[in-house]
Amino acid sequence: MLKQKRDMAILVRYHWYRIPVSKMPARKFDYLAFYEPVRFGRHGKQIRFYARVLRYSAGKRRDLLPNETNHPNANKNYFKIQVGRTGVMTPVAVLE
């Protein structure tokens, strides 16, 4: 899930996404799809983008987002997932 628009900017510009180590799926995966919550306005509540996973590495959140060293999760371990070019899919609405 892209919690903030900043996360979308990181994904599109720098081609990476982060996942807490505690939330990483046990199964290997080759692609990520990105859910955009309601705060994304008319693009919210849907999955529009996907990307192929190239590689990943572990590190502290504070190292991935150095401007957020005071964040409550700054010292937690995250995977930095490098992805290829972001693709656009036909929007999938999430039913509530």
**Residues 76-89 pLDDT 10s:** 999 999 999 999 98
Q: Which two three-digit tokens encode residue 40?
A: 């994304």
Task: Report pLDDT for 91.
Answer: 61
The better pLDDT of the pair 79, 1 is held by 79
3-state secondary structure of 35: strand
Classify residue 23 by burial, with Cβ atoms within 10 Å: 0-12, 13-18, 19+.
exposed
Q: Among 94, 77, 87, which Cα is nearest to 12's?
A: 87
pLDDT surpasses 90 at 70: yes
pLDDT surpasses 90 at 95: no
Identify whether the C-beta of residue 75 lies closer than 8 Å to the C-beta of residue 62: yes
